[in-house]
Structure 1
Amino acid sequence: MTEEQGQPAQPEKKEKKSLSLNVVSSKQHKGFGAGTIDLSAVSCVIIDDGVAYIDVGAMHAKSKVERGIKFTPNKEDTPNGRQCWIVWVAVDRNEEGSYYAGATACEMLIDSEARRGWKILADHVNKLDHSIKRRYNLTELGEVERAALRKLLVEHNQEWWDRSPEELKQSLGG
């Protein structure tokens, strides 16, 4: 017994550590799991039929175009699929303010009628990681898709666009 409390000394309980991926947290994490993927500054843009729009559901494969679709890694399983893109856009902040710090595009095919689709999940994960690591990879996008993405980014926040690196602007034709 400890004299101060009048109770037996309790062994210190060790807190069980678990790894979790917190997608919507805005708090900074330090300690166990620090350095894991932080998705709080990543937005999901869908480009479908030449139109780009933000769809946060894409983070969990539940964007408007993905809902109700059974995906396969075999492209030939979706012969009538239309080409759609997910663009992972990371936003960062420097002394001047926020800017588009990373952007990577991932292809997928969607056949809404047959409720089938094609995408390679590993490619989507790797490109999400590249965006988080402040890289740009938009080379697979066609001219129409580049123009749609550029229009969306500029309209979403002109100041962010203005502060973004030339590499992004040149890759989107502006």
Structure 2
Amino acid sequence: MTEQDQGQGQTPDQTAPAPEKKEKRQLSLNVVSNKEHRGFGAGTIDLSAVSCVIIDQGEAYIDVGAMHAKSKVEKGIKFSPDKELVPNGRLCWIVWVAVDRSEEGSYYAGATACPMLVDTEARRGWKILAQHVNNLDYAIKRRFVLSELSAEEKAALRGLLIANNQEWWDRSPEELKQALA
């Protein structure tokens, strides 16, 4: 530093102040709607009220990994939209279950089932990703799409929902109870 610089109040030990850090925005899933957009994150949905149920060989169980295609049955499987590539696949289901809350308490508000074929030995599978996304959306929108499930699969899902929380089942819409009867 020159004497001239020091005369302006700067010393060799001083450093320029650090620039202010901008707060990092959290990314979230946006849903397109006809509402006016109000900036970053507007129209976001909360997926914490959605659970993933897998039905495999007559057994239903909760597997949160299915939200990101990393459920127990999906791990290590290369999926294709071509059903012909999975001739020996077994039928499995992902059921998206949405929970809502009313004055009486929580209840199962939406449930939709999506098929997939899984051949564990060949490490190949079939599913239609668009159907999985649409059915997740339908569950969030409080719809029930369960008609493709067999009687055994419906019974397994019904049993799991009741065992998970009997009170939620009791408060659930009659439409769900009829769909799983």
Give the structure-2-normalised TM-score: 0.80
For 1:16 and 1:58, the matched residues in 2 are separated by: 28
Match of 1:113 among 108, 117, 121: 121
- What is the CA distance between 1:155 and its match in structure 2? 0.4
Match of 1:84 in 2: 92
**d(CA) in 1 for partners of 2:168, 2:158:** 12
Q: Counterpart of 2:133? A: 125
Deviation at 1:17, TM superposition (A): 6.1
Residue 49 of structure 1 corresponds to 57
1:142 to 137, 142, 150: 150
Change (3 A) 1:85 1:14: same
Q: Partner residue of 1:9?
A: none
SS at match of 1:149: helix
CA-atom RMSD, angstroms?
2.1
Aligned with residue 28 of structure 2, among 13, 16, 20: 20
Partner of 1:33: 41
Task: In structure 2, give the amino acid aligned to 1:161.
Answer: W
Residue 157 (structure 1) aligns with: 165
Q: CA deviation at 1:83?
A: 0.1
Name the residue aligned to 2:106.
Answer: 98
> Does the C-alpha gap of structure 1 residues 35 and 166 become closer, same or farther in structure 2, counting only changes over 3 Å?
same
Aligned residues: 155
2:28/2:44 contact within 8 Å kept = no
Ranges in structure 2 where 5+ consecutive residues have no aligned partner: 1-20, 31-37
Aligned to 2:7: none
* Structure 1: tracts of 5 or more residues without a match: 1-12, 23-29
2: distance between equivalents of 1:124 and 1:55? 15
Normalising by the residue count of structure 1, what TM-score does the alignment of the two structures yield? 0.83
Moved more, 101-110 or 13-22: 13-22
Question: Aligned partners of 1:145, 1:57: CA distance in 2, in Å?
Answer: 20
Who wins on radius of gyration, i.e. which is larger?
Answer: 2
Q: Distance in 1 between matches of 2:101 and 2:93?
A: 26
